[in-house]
Structure 1
């Protein structure tokens, strides 16, 4: 008898974990670059073209290529497990690749552990899933998975100095995988669950601060179409400071504008924060700072400039 047979949730849990590790590695370097630009990198050393990376930034990305390689490899591993989870929902036995004549020997109790079997190669997972599912994967996903596996194989088995990994591309790849194998616009919720499970003595503020910083980076590096597709966000919408996140994350120096009005109707008062998922009833009054054009206040603080209104009443 085949024993210790994994179910879909076992594979999916591993897939979530590996994909989150890949994301954490890639986005940590973008956060480092962002912090470095604001604090210790010499701004005078930047090229005249503001859109071009400085020599300091170019050297940094060259140094972390192996780290980005680890991130890419983890993303491929996570994708494989999520695919296996999809197949295991139908039947985990479909993943066994051995011919019956090549099955492992039974133990003294007449059993064979599932883990002792050879499972289907990664290159065959999409084809297998397409053969047994009513909803096969589309070309965008299968082409991406093939490209990622090839890059991973080069990193693991060879040396290719022309292969340059980009952190933003790894993030976008994770978002594409998440859309196809987890669900549309589900990734930020997956990140929250992962952070909660990863934080000892869980505190909302710590998780919100981590997600708040990630949100700021995504708003900066993703294209408007990518933000709308993967997160359901409009990059051109006006964003405000979140009353909760700004207070909880004061020690982090968090300045992310993550709150917005869900519709464009004038005079709205319910402000929603994408990061902490809270809604706030705000006051629509002009900020007393003459240099600020904001008109959204919460407990006497302007959510545009951050200034307390009492400062301007004297």
Structure 2
């Protein structure tokens, strides 16, 4: 008898982890590049940026391969939801030895080839993949196959392309379509944050949100306005502010200073056609009131209507 069947949730969770691992790699490169940008601009040598990204080539290709692996697991998850037996490859003669006499884990059986996943999915699932997805997936598969099976000196992937691959895959398969919700889950379960003592610290969530806001700034800088609107629900062409709720959270960090806000993203925007503002990271919604901040030497005149927080200095006014 076959035991230890994986579920759709198991495959989707692993896919999400692959996407987040890929994201980590690209964000690390973009962050490092952001930090040395001044050095590059002042360098007497030409093409310094090209040298940096040329050296990052393999990391970006590997990150792309992780996205392809995530997509395969998403498809397997959808097939498993119909029946896990559909993933077992080969005729009975090729199955594990003595599988008819002993209990054998599902993972022992050979799975169907990746090239057959879409055919199986479209045969057994109610909603077939669109032509747009199939073309997108083929492009991703070609990059991954070149990376895994040969050395192609002409193969290059830009960081913004990998980010778009990640966001497209997550939005196509996830139910919530909220990438930063996925990031929050992932960061909350990293090795260091899985330590119970650290997880229970009052400041744990503040550092996590600070990381999300920093990532947001880095990513928005490289994505086009159409992509940030489509995947992050953020309009680069609309004025934005720091989110009062996120501010309150990260202000609990050790040695916090208002100047920390300069290095993180402004995620709070007015919703189109409404007076309400919403944060695309924590989903906090609210409005501002025109009232002078009561803090000495602060010239701020815009306060959060719920908390009285002044976005100019962080002081919580009594309303």
- The gaps in structure 1 that reach 5 residues or longer are 48-53, 310-314
Cα distance in 2 between the residues matched to 1:18 and 1:296 = 41
- Asked whether 1:122 is paired with 2:114, we answer yes
Task: Note the alpha carbon deviations across 1:188-225, whole angstroms, 9 max, x for none.
Answer: 22112111122232322122111111211232222222
4+ residue runs over 6 A deviation = none
TM-score, length basis structure 1: 0.83
- Asked whether 1:235 is paired with 2:239, we answer no
Cα distance in 2 between the residues matched to 1:297 and 1:112 = 63
Displacement after TM superposition at 1:302 (Å): 5.2
Residue 222 and residue 24 in structure 1: after superposition, are their counterparts in 2 closer, same or farther (change >3 A)?
same
Task: Note the alpha carbon deviations across 1:202-252, whole angstroms, 9 max, x for none.
Answer: 322122111111211232222222122212222222100223434516465
- Contact 1:184–1:230 (CA<8 Å) still a contact in 2? no
Residue 294 and residue 127 in structure 1: after superposition, are their counterparts in 2 closer, same or farther (change >3 A)?
farther
2:281 aligned to 275, 278, 284, which one? 275
1:259 aligned to 238, 253, 268, which one? 268
Aligned residue number for residue 148 of structure 2: 156
- Asked whether 1:106 is paired with 2:98, we answer yes
Aligned residue number for residue 312 of structure 1: none
Residue 86 and residue 295 in structure 1: after superposition, are their counterparts in 2 closer, same or farther (change >3 A)?
farther
- Contact 2:67–2:166 (CA<8 Å) still a contact in 1? yes
Cα distance in 1 between the residues matched to 2:93 and 2:137 = 31
1:296 aligned to 287, 290, 302, which one? 302
Task: Note the alpha carbon deviations across 1:16-36, whole angstroms, 9 max, x for none.
Answer: 111110111112211221222
Cα distance in 1 between the residues matched to 2:84 and 2:50 = 46
Cα distance in 1 between the residues matched to 2:292 and 2:269 = 17
Aligned residue number for residue 29 of structure 1: 29
- Contact 2:22–2:63 (CA<8 Å) still a contact in 1? yes
Aligned residue number for residue 224 of structure 1: 225
Residue 26 and residue 42 in structure 1: after superposition, are their counterparts in 2 closer, same or farther (change >3 A)?
closer
Cα distance in 1 between the residues matched to 2:314 and 2:182 = 35
- Tell me, what secondary structure is at the counterpart of 1:283? strand
